[in-house]
C-alpha cells in the first residue's frame, strides 16, 4: 500500500510549518489534504506548482492590480512616440522652442515637458554624447529639435538681453518709443581718432585739449583708453565734442564686437610726409565697416616733404573722395606740433555731425550708456570709464554694467575733478562697482541695488553657459549656400592679408572680377601686408568675414583666438587656388536651381492586397534602378494618375531591398496611394541641383 502523500512533512522553509491536511469543502482544500502554504499562505505554492487561491499574487486571484504610477507611465508611453527605445513627446514640425545661448538638455526638456534622460538617449542615438546639464551649441540643438519635430531658435545676445530686462519690467525700446521730439535735446558728438602709429594721433588730441598728454605716456605711445570732452566756439555759440582716444583701432573694434555703438564720427589721421600706411588702411576699413562718417586730418603739413595732395589721391582709391574732388569727405590740413588749423578740424567735425547725423538724446530720465574701459585700482577698487548715451547719471545712482553692479560713490571728469551729474555724451570715471566690467558693456540705472545685483548675476550665468557651450561656428566657405538659403547672408566679406602689397592687390582685383549675378556680393572689408593679427580676427568676428592669407601665417596665439571665435581662415600659396575657392563659394551662395533626374521605371505585373501596408505592386524593373525612399509617379495609358509619391517600401521576395536594378522583379509600396492596376508604370526620380555655368 502506497503511503499517503499528505502525511509527509512540508519541506523546510515553506510557510505553515509541518504539513496540515486541507479542510474539505474549503477553497484550496484538496482530497487527502494539500501541502502547507497551498491554501492561504502568502504567495505560497503547492507541490504541484500551483499558486494559492487567496495568496497575494495567487493564480486564483487573476492579474495583479497596477499602481497609479505604472498606469501613468504606460499612458505616457502610449501617447508619446518611442525614439531610440525611450518615450519622447514630439512636435508637429512647426513648433518653435526658444532657448538661450549655452542652454542644456535639461533646459530643452523643461520647454517640451520631457524627461532629460530620454533626450540624452535620443542625442546618443543621433551620434552625439552629452550630459543633461552640459551646455550645447546651436547646431546640436537644431539636429535634436529636427529629430523630435521642433524648430529650435537660439536667442541672440540682443534678444537675450532684452528678455532679461523685460523680466525686471525694464523695456528700453518702449522708453525710446515713448520719447517725443520735445523730450530730446542736442547732445555732443562722440569722436574717435584713428590712424597709423606715429602719425600724431595723441599729439593732435593734445593740441585739441590744450593739455600735455604725450609727455605722460611711455615712449610717446598711448598706453590706455581715455575719453575727454572739450568746448569749442562755433558760429558764435559754444559747442562741445567728446573724444575717445584709442590705441589705434583695437578698442574701437573690441567694443563693436561687444555690440556697442559708441562712435558718431571718426577722425582718420594721416601724416602728410609719410602717406597711407597699412594701419591707416586698417583703421579706414574698420570705420567703414561700422558705417561711421569719416573726417580726414592730414597731419604734419609743416614738415619737409609734406604732400597733402598725394594723401588725397591715395585715399581716393579707398573710397574717401575729398569735397574739392566732388566727393563728400572733408579733408583738413593740420599741424598738431604748430597748432595749425585745429579749429578748422573741429569745425569740420561739427559740420559733418550736423549734416549727416541727428545727435539728440533725452537727459531727463535714468542714465543708459557704455563702459569704455575699466581697471582695478588698489586704493579705489573697480574704476570704470563710462560714456552716458541717454539720461543723466548722478552720484548715488544704483547701476549695473555687464556683470558688475553697485552704487555710484563718486564720479570724476578727465581732469580728476569731481562731478555730481553726467549728461548725454559725457564721459566720467565711476567708483563703486563690485567688479571690473568689460569694454563695450552696457550700463543702466536701476531702482534699487537688489535689482542691479540680480541682473548682474543672471548676465554672469548666461555668459558662463555661453562659454561652456561648444563654440558657435561662424560663416565658412562650405556654409554659404545654406546661409543664403536661410536668408542669413547675401554678402561675402573677406579680409585679405599677403606677404607683399602687389600680390594682395592682384588677388583683390581678380576676386572683384568674379561675376556671380545680382543675388550675392563680394566685399573686401580689409586688405593688408604682414601676418594675420588679433585685430584681423576681431574684425572678422564683428563683420562675419573670412580671412584669406596669401603666403602668410597667423601671429602668435591668433590661430587659437580664431578657433575660439569660430573665424574661418584660409591659407594659399597659389593665387589661382584662392580665386577658384572663392568663386565656387560665391556660386554656392546663389539660390540653387533644380532639375528632375529619372532613376528608373517599373511595370506592374500583379497587385497584392495587404491590410497592413495597403496595395503592393508586384513589378519588374524595365529601366534604370528603383530605389527606396525616392520620389515616384504612376502613369496609366500615358496619363499621370499619381504624382509626388514616395517609394516607402521595396522588397525582393520577403527581404527588404535598398534598390532593385533593371530586369529584376520586386514589390513596391507607395504608402497610402492604392489606385494601382496591372500594366501601370511606376517612374522614380530625384531632384538634382543644376550646376551653374
Q: Are 247 and 221 in contact (CB under 8 A)?
A: yes
**Residues with Cβ < 8 Å from 221, sequence gap 6 or more?**
197, 202, 247
Pairing type for strands 226-234 and 237-245 reads: antiparallel
DSSP string, 109-167: HHHHT--HHHHHHHHHHTT----TTSB--HHHHHHHHHHHTEEEEEPPHHHHHHHHHHT
What total of structural domains would you count in the chain? 5
Name the strand (E) or helix (H) holding 419. none
Query: Do 218 and 277 fall within a single domain?
Result: yes
Query: Widest CA span of the chain, in angstroms?
Result: 141
Domain shared by 209 and 355, yes or no = yes
Q: What is the pLDDT of residue 398?
A: 95
Rounded CA Rg of the chain: 38
- What are 31's strand-pairing partners? none
Clarify whether residues 333 and 269 are in a common domain.
yes
Instruction: Give yes or no: residues 618 and 513 share one domain.
Output: no
Do 491 and 520 form a contact (C-beta atoms < 8 A)? yes
Of 361, 377, 401, the one marking the end of a domain is: 361
Q: Are residues 528 and 383 in the same domain?
A: no
214 and 294 inside one domain? yes
Integer Cα distance of 461 and 102 in angstroms: 10
d(CA 265, CA 458): 34
Residue 218 pLDDT? 42
Report the alpha-carbon distance of residue 296 to residue 276 in Å, rounded: 12
Q: Helix or strand or coil: residue 621?
A: strand
For residue 407, give every residue at least 6 positions away whose Cβ sits within 8 Å of its Cβ, in sequence order, or none.
Answer: 396, 397, 398, 399, 432, 449
Instruction: Tell me which of 589, 608, 637 is where a domain ends.
Output: 589
Question: What does the pLDDT look like over 230-245, one tens digit per residue?
Answer: 888 877 788 899 998 6
Q: Are strands 237-245 and 189-195 parallel, antiparallel or unpaired?
A: parallel
User: What is the sign, positive or negative, of the torsion defined by CA atoms of 105, 107, 109, 111?
Assistant: negative
| CA 257 to each of CA 91, 102, 167: distance values in angstroms, whole numbers, following the listed order | 36, 19, 25
For the segment 102-113, what is each residue's pLDDT rounded down to a tens digit?
Answer: 788 888 888 888
Does 348 lie in the same domain as 241?
yes
6 lies in a domain? no
pLDDT > 90: what percent of the chain? 26
Q: Are 441 and 482 part of one and the same domain?
A: no
C-alpha dist (Å) from residue 573 to 458, 531, 548, 552, 579 = 48, 14, 11, 9, 11
Q: With the CA atoms of 13, 18, 19 and 22 taken in that order, what torsion angle do they form, in degrees rounded to the nearest 10? A: -100
Query: CA dist 639 to 621, 633, 636, 645, 682, Å?
Result: 19, 10, 5, 15, 12
The pLDDT of residue 270 is 94
Cell readout for 432 is 563703486
**Three-state secondary structure call for residue 388:** strand
Average pLDDT, the chain: 79
Query: Minimal CA–CA distance to 329: which of 259, 267, 409?
Result: 267
Give φ, ψ of 266 to 5 degrees. Answer: -115, 130
pLDDT band at 16 (very low <50, low <70, confident <90, very high): very low
**pLDDT for 691 beyond 50:** yes
Q: How confident is the model at residue 472 (pLDDT cuts 50, 70, 90)?
A: very low
Q: How far apart are CA 347 and CA 514, in angstroms?
A: 42
Cell numbers standing for residue 393:
547719471
Residue 164 falls inside a structural domain: no
Domain assignment of residue 24, yes or no:
no
128 located within any domain: yes
Q: What is the CATH number of the domain that holds 440?
A: 2.40.30.10
As a whole number of angstroms, the distance between CA 388 and CA 552 comes to 42
Residues in Cβ contact with 8 at an 8 Å cutoff, skipping those fewer than 6 apart: 19
Helices (H) and strands (E) in the chain, counts: 17, 33
Residue 670 belongs to a domain: yes
Structural domain boundaries enclosing 126: 73-153
Which CATH number do you get for residue 582? 3.40.50.10050
Residue 94 within a domain: yes
Same domain, 278 and 196: yes
* Residue 325 sits in the same domain as residue 306: yes
- Lowest average pLDDT, out of 158-167, 297-306, 317-326, 400-409, goes to 158-167
179 lies in some domain: no
- pLDDT over 70 percentage in the chain: 76
Whether the pLDDT of residue 85 is over 70: the answer is no
Say if residue 517 is in the same domain as residue 429.
no
Beta-carbon-side half-sphere exposure of residue 338 (alpha carbons within 13 Å)? 10
Alpha-carbon distance 648 to 646, whole Å?
6
Q: Which range in 168-172, 334-338, 501-505 is most confidently predicted, on average pLDDT?
A: 334-338
pLDDT at 664 over 50: yes
The pLDDT score that the predictor gives to residue 237 is: 83
Position with higher pLDDT, 23 vs 541: 541
Region class of 49: left (phi > 0), else alpha (psi between -120 and 50), else beta:
left
Q: What is the mean pLDDT of residues 326-337?
A: 92
Most confident segment among 135-149, 548-562, 563-577, 652-666: 652-666
- Mention every residue, 6+ apart, whose C-beta is less than 8 A from residue 277: 196, 199
Burial zone of 181 (CB within 10 Å; 0-12 exposed, 13-18 middle, 19+ buried):
exposed
Q: What is the pLDDT of residues 403-448, one digit of tens each?
A: 899 999 999 988 888 999 999 999 999 999 998 888 778 899 999 9
Highest mean pLDDT among 180-189, 239-248, 310-319, 491-500: 310-319
From 466, 496, 516, the end of a domain falls on: 466
| Pairing mode, strands 631-636 and 639-646 | antiparallel
For residues 302-310, average pLDDT: 90
User: For residue 30, what pLDDT is reported?
Assistant: 43
Any idea what the CATH number is for the domain that residue 339 is in? 3.40.50.300
457 shares its domain with 486: no
- Res. 283 pLDDT band, cuts 50 70 90: confident
Q: Could you tell me if residue 77 is inside a domain?
A: yes
- How far from 685 is each of 201, 633, 664, CA to CA, in Å? 67, 8, 18
Amino acid at each position: 500500500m502506497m503511503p499517503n502523500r499528505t502525511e509527509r512533512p512540508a519541506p523546510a522553509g515553506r510557510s505553515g510549518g509541518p504539513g496540515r491536511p486541507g479542510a474539505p469543502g474549503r477553497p484550496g482544500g484538496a482530497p487527502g489534504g494539500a501541502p502547507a502554504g497551498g491554501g492561504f499562505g502568502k504567495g505560497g505554492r503547492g507541490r504541484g506548482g500551483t499558486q494559492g487561491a487567496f495568496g497575494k499574487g495567487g493564480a486564483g486571484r487573476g492579474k495583479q492590480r497596477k499602481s497609479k504610477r505604472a498606469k501613468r507611465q504606460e499612458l505616457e508611453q502610449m501617447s508619446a512616440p518611442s525614439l531610440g527605445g525611450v518615450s519622447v513627446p514630439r512636435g508637429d514640425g512647426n513648433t518653435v522652442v526658444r532657448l538661450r545661448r549655452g542652454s542644456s538638455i535639461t533646459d530643452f526638456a523643461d520647454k517640451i515637458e520631457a524627461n532629460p534622460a530620454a533626450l540624452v538617449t535620443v542625442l546618443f542615438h543621433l551620434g552625439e554624447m552629452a550630459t543633461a546639464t552640459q551646455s550645447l551649441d546651436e547646431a546640436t540643438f537644431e539636429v535634436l529639435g529636427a529629430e523630435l519635430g521642433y524648430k529650435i531658435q537660439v536667442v541672440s545676445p540682443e534678444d537675450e538681453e532684452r528678455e532679461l530686462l523685460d523680466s525686471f519690467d525694464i523695456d528700453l525700446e518702449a522708453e525710446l518709443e515713448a520719447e517725443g521730439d520735445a523730450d530730446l535735446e542736442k547732445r555732443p558728438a562722440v569722436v574717435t581718432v584713428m590712424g597709423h602709429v606715429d602719425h600724431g594721433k595723441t599729439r593732435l588730441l593734445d593740441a585739441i585739449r590744450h593739455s600735455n598728454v604725450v609727455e605722460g605716456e611711455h615712449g610717446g605711445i598711448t598706453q590706455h583708453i581715455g575719453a575727454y570732452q572739450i568746448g569749442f566756439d562755433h558760429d558764435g555759440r559754444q559747442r562741445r565734442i567728446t573724444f575717445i582716444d584709442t590705441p589705434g583701432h583695437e578698442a574701437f573694434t573690441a567694443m563693436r564686437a561687444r555690440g556697442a555703438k559708441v562712435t558718431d564720427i571718426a577722425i582718420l589721421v594721416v601724416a602728410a610726409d609719410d602717406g597711407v600706411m597699412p594701419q591707416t588702411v586698417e583703421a579706414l576699413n574698420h570705420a567703414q565697416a561700422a558705417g561711421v562718417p569719416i573726417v580726414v586730418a592730414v597731419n604734419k603739413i609743416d614738415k619737409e616733404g609734406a604732400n597733402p595732395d598725394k594723401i588725397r589721391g591715395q585715399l581716393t582709391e579707398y573710397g574717401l573722395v575729398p569735397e574739392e574732388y566732388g566727393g563728400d569727405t572733408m579733408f583738413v590740413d593740420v599741424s598738431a606740433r604748430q597748432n595749425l588749423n585745429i579749429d578748422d578740424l573741429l569745425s569740420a567735425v561739427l559740420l559733418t555731425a550736423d549734416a549727416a547725423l541727428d545727435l539728440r538724446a533725452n537727459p531727463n530720465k535714468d542714465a543708459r550708456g557704455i563702459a569704455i574701459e575699466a581697471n582695478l585700482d588698489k586704493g579705489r577698487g573697480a574704476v570704470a570709464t563710462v560714456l552716458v548715451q541717454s539720461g543723466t547719471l548722478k552720484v548715488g545712482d544704483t547701476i549695473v554694467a555687464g556683470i558688475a553692479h553697485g552704487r555710484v560713490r563718486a564720479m570724476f571728469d578727465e581732469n580728476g575733478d569731481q562731478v555730481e551729474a553726467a549728461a548725454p555724451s559725457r564721459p566720467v570715471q565711476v567708483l563703486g562697482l563690485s567688479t571690473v566690467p568689460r569694454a563695450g558693456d552696457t550700463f543702466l540705472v536701476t531702482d534699487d541695488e537688489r535689482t542691479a545685483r540680480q541682473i548682474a548675476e543672471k548676465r554672469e550665468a548666461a555668459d558662463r553657459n555661453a562659454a561652456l557651450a561648444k563654440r558657435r561656428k561662424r560663416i565658412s566657405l562650405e556654409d554659404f549656400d545654406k546661409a543664403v538659403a536661410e536668408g542669413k547672408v547675401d554678402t561675402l566679406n573677406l579680409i585679405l592679408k599677403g606677404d607683399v602689397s602687389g600680390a594682395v592687390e592682384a588677388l583683390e582685383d581678380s576676386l572683384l572680377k568674379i561675376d556671380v549675378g545680382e543675388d550675392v556680393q563680394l566685399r573686401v572689408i580689409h586688405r593688408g601686408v604682414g601676418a594675420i593679427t588679433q585685430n584681423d580676427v576681431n574684425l572678422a568676428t564683428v563683420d562675419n568675414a573670412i580671412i584669406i592669407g596669401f603666403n602668410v601665417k597667423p601671429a602668435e596665439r591668433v590661430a587659437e583666438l580664431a578657433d575660439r571665435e569660430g573665424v574661418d581662415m584660409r591659407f594659399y600659396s597659389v593665387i589661382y587656388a584662392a580665386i577658384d575657392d572663392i568663386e565656387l563659394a560665391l556660386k554656392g551662395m546663389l539660390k540653387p536651381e533644380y532639375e528632375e533626374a529619372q532613376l528608373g521605371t517599373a511595370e506592374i505585373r500583379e497587385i497584392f492586397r495587404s491590410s497592413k501596408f495597403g496595395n503592393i505592386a508586384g513589378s519588374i524593373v524595365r529601366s534604370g534602378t528603383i530605389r527606396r525612399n525616392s520620389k515616384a509617379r504612376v502613369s496609366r495609358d500615358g496619363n499621370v494618375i499619381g504624382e509626388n509619391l514616395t517609394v516607402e517600401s521595396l522588397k525582393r521576395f520577403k527581404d527588404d531591398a535598398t534598390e532593385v536594378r533593371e530586369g529584376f522583379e520586386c514589390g513596391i509600396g507607395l504608402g497610402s496611394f492604392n489606385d494601382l492596376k496591372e500594366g501601370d508604370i511606376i517612374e522614380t526620380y530625384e531632384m538634382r541641383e543644376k550646376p551653374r555655368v
